[in-house]
Amino acid sequence: MLALALWAWASCAALAWAESPAPSVHWGAIAYPDKDRTLTAGLTVNRFTEFDGAGHRYNDIRETSGFNFASLSWTERLAQLSGWNTNLTVGAGPTQDGLTRFLQNDVVHKVRGLTPVPVGAKRHATDFMIGGSLTRWKEILGRQEDGFAGVGVASGSLYHELYAQAGLRRVSLPDSVPFSQFVRFSAMGRYGRLYGGSAFPTVAPQSYLGQVSVGVGNYQPEKDDQSSWEIELALTVDSGLFVDGKGNALEERFVSAAFRYSFVSFETWNDFVNQKDYGPTFGARLTVDLLHIYHAWRNGS
């Protein structure tokens, strides 16, 4: 059955990517929608820390959470509506402190010489988030389908959100600029209405999010070339998923870095630009493009 499904969805090789499962967008993950048909699987982790290294508490949430999601993301172009596509992204797994605590205290903080973050109560649960979106892609700056606008929903045991977003994806410089074929720029704005869930019963009523990024990569590979690659750096400003003790939204800023090669992608995001190190502090994900693998297998490469 899996082989038949992959055959039905198989397409030409492209940069391996996938939409992140919630709550990654509010932790700083690169959140642009997919343009091409994809079917990807991976592992995504996000960490919420109750305290910073000095023992200061983030807000009224009295536990630390390490979300460990196995994820599947499927984007399909709508044959009946040119320029439109849909996405379904699912993430689920055990919420346990061990993995993300090790990455934060024993890896990142130790390498950077920072004080380990103390941990009090810890969330133990099986959490999940399901997201779906509808996106319209259109030519904006003279390049094929470089602009997008769409709506979506994310819901599960953490929180619930209805959102709309619009932006530009992988816009190139003029051809007269040296190395323009290797550089791309992206930007988006997103507005969401938020509602509390089991893990986070009290959240901000709404979120305003802006994201900009620059990518360097092989954007014009030869036909049947399996070595497409990209390095992308992004900055995200979010009015905040969480609130303080008075109900005011807590603004967040994040940086993220992604590396994509052939059918594999790795991305990590962090709040160190805030200089606070508590609340939604960091995350990472590793994904593989199942359609890319199947396409390569069918063609014997």
Give the pTM: 0.90
pLDDT for res 17: 66
- Distance (Å, rounded) from C-alpha 49 to C-alpha 24? 15
CATH number of 2-298, picked from 2.40.160.40, 3.40.50.2300, 3.90.79.10, 3.40.50.150 = 2.40.160.40
Place of tokens 């493009």: 289
288 pLDDT above the threshold of 80: yes
pLDDT for res 13: 42
pLDDT for res 9: 38
Rounded average pLDDT over 257-280 = 91
108 pLDDT above the threshold of 90: no
Inter-residue contact 84 to 78 (CB < 8 Å): yes
Inter-residue contact 237 to 247 (CB < 8 Å): no
pLDDT for res 298: 81
- Distance (Å, rounded) from C-alpha 289 to C-alpha 18? 8
CA distances, 222 to each of 1, 38, 120, 137, 255 (Å): 32, 20, 53, 24, 32
- Candidate from 67-71, 102-106, 254-258 with smallest mean pLDDT: 102-106
- Distance (Å, rounded) from C-alpha 32 to C-alpha 7? 26
Q: Which residue has the higher pLDDT, 174 or 14?
A: 174
Burial 209-233 (b: 16+ CB within 10 A, else e): bebebebebebeeeeeeeebbbebe
Residue 119 makes CB contacts below 8 A (sequence gap 6+) with: 49, 50, 51, 64, 97, 101
DSSP readout, 246-297? Answer: TS-B--EEEEEEEEEETTEEEEEEE-GGGS---EEEEEEEEEEEHHHHHHHH
264 pLDDT above the threshold of 80: yes
* Boundaries of every domain in the chain: 2-298
pLDDT for res 90: 98
The vertex-169 CA angle with 190 and 182, nearest 5°, equals: 145
CA distances, 8 to each of 2, 15, 291, 295 (Å): 10, 19, 10, 11
Strand partners, 232: 215, 258
- What are 133-147's pLDDT values in tens digits? 999 999 987 667 899
Output phi, psi for 122, to 5 deg.
-125, 145
152 pLDDT above the threshold of 70: yes
For residue 143, count other CB atoms closer than 10 A to its CB.
14
Q: Which residue has the higher pLDDT, 296 or 223?
A: 296
Task: Provide the pLDDT confidence category of residue 18 given band limits of 50, 70 and 90.
Answer: confident
